[in-house]
Amino acid sequence: MKKLLLLLSILLLLGSCQSYHPLSKHNYYNQSKLYNEPLELQVQYFGDIQLKSLSDLKSRKIKRKIQNVEEVKAKDLLAYGTTNVNPEYEVFLFIQENNKKLDAIKGTLISKDTISRTVLFRKVNHDKTAYLYIKAKNNNNSLNSLVKDGESIINSLSIGAEVKEELTYNKVFNAVKDSPNYLKARKELNTAPVEKTDANEWMQFQYLATINSFFSNNEDYKDQIENFEANRKNQLKPILDTLLQNPEVKVNKGVLDEISELAKDTRVVMLNENHWYPKHRVFAIQLFKKLKENGYTHLALEALFPNQDRKINERGFPTLNAGFYIREPNFGKLIRKAKELGFILVGYENQNQEINRELGQAQNLQHILEEDPNHKIFVYAGLDHILEEETKSGKRMAAYFKELTKLNPLTINQSDMIGNSQNELSLIPTSMVSSFEKLDKPVDFFVINNMESNRQESIDQEMKTQDFTIEPRRFADLNADEILIKIFKKSEYDIYKNGSVPLQATLKKQSQEPILFSLSPGNYTIHFSSVENDEILVFNKTLER
């Protein structure tokens, strides 16, 4: 008897797993578009339709909802969604395999029932037949609205050779980039059914590395960066083993002192970054105090969105609207520290689409210097924008800047030289490495940056912090394998909520011990989220002086 009951239980379990279309597990939603790679299917829904995971739906309820529709069965349900604005309705998409090849039939309304307030459409492909069933949620909806929406959805459905538009990582990224839930954004980039090519995988890497850089204690990020750096480190090791023994190479605090001295001889210092390296921003912060002492007045950021400089100069800190890369905690700290020291922030990205981007950036920097002969600028740019001479790929911002202003900026490249060194910072004159082809770039210095991106103190031990641990009880009842912990300044979070830029963001896995945090005295808001839930816990913490 027990064996029979066990067998029945297994059969019931297997039956429940097959409640809907077997390929529905491959559904991927990008904004309001459904992709299913095995079916080679795409459907464009409306933006106000919330598409649901079928795993969350009780099959008995679905069967009741479609019991009067002879053409469809729950086992063929591929997708389900609802609207919460007028017209309010439920929408069901069913895909059936044809027993034989049929003539294609475009989307057609085959049923319109004023009593049940439903409409049913059919579209036939040679191999498959799709049914779109829409059911009004209340009696206030006009069936004409349902018919109009249904026609649009069923006619957007394409299968196999009909598919015209491919999913790309750029589309996936644009759909998730504004989300403050980095775990959800990472999942979308990892699971998107994009064609596997070298170009696509490189694009995926860049987007994932950037998202992963936004939070610490992240093994995915560590693995990505190690793989990315491995080949470069092997290439550079032969020259660095000798080079780093040269007394002309400044290290650690000597790097800051050397740059400070050289900065006295120009009105412009340019430092670059790779956008998925938070430690590059940590180094930039270390330069602020010495540059300020040397009369530098402006911090020019390529990463700022239009008009955000004015807003930050008024309130003293950034929000998520300030710029995509600025949501990374160290970039937020960079801006807060700059304002604390009295720098004027300026965004210098070119907004004039009629001229070359690099030239437009250079002109914007030129205007700052022309406003006042006492203005001096620390320019924080991306990658090769700081190259001072024309290269095979053309002129970059710094080359145009030199032509326009007749000034020679101090240019420091921390993006191209990677190496294992016991020192946090090493400053290497370009003249020492210009014979090495991969480092033949027209800048004044290279920096090897081995700083920790989650460090809480500066090289000169200026910042004092306190340690605290979030009590284990905070995690006890949270049903999540991974928890993203963000720490905000309470004063900022009270106003901007999830639109705030965190001071710290870190990942906690269930199997891990409580994580130790270090912060200066003050009032903070702690925020927990998971891949499935944008907010599962929020509480405040005060660290006394």
Q: Are residues 114 and 146 in the same domain?
A: yes
Report pLDDT for 8.
45
The pLDDT tens digits of the residues spanning 221-246 come to 999 999 999 988 888 888 888 888 88
> CB-side exposure of 160: number of CA atoms within 13 Å?
9
Task: Tell me which DSSP letter residue 319 carries.
Answer: B
User: Number of folded domains in the chain?
Assistant: 4
Name the pTM for this structure: 0.84
Asked if 266 and 300 sit in the same domain, the reply is yes
Same domain, 324 and 406: yes
Q: Are residues 119 and 249 in the same domain?
A: no
Task: Examine the domain organization and report whether 126 and 109 are in the same domain.
Answer: yes
Amino acid at 424: E
Residues 396, 250 share a domain: yes
Domain final residue, candidates 134, 162, 190: 162
Could you tell me if 121 and 174 lie in one domain? no
Distance (Å, whole) CA 449 – CA 478: 38
The answer to whether residues 149 and 203 belong to one domain is no
Render pLDDT for 153-172 as a digit per residue (tens, 0 to 9).
Answer: 999 999 876 766 788 999 99
Count of C-beta atoms within a 10 Å radius of residue 544: 6
Which residues span the domain enclosing 45? 19-162
Residue 258, Cβ density class (10 Å: 0-12 exposed, 13-18 middle, ≥19 buried):
middle
Same domain, 335 and 387: yes
- Same structural domain for residues 111 and 202? no
Q: How far apart are CA 527 and CA 182, in angstroms?
A: 13
User: Do both 239 and 119 map to the same domain?
Assistant: no
Calpha distance 259→255 (Å, rounded): 6
Distance, in Å, from the CA atom of 390 to the CA atom of 397, rounded to the nearest integer, reads: 10
pLDDT, block means (10 residues), the chain with 545 residues: 46 55 90 89 91 87 91 94 90 93 88 92 92 89 89 91 80 92 95 92 96 95 94 87 88 96 97 97 97 98 97 97 96 97 97 94 97 97 95 93 97 93 92 81 95 62 75 81 95 96 92 81 95 92 88
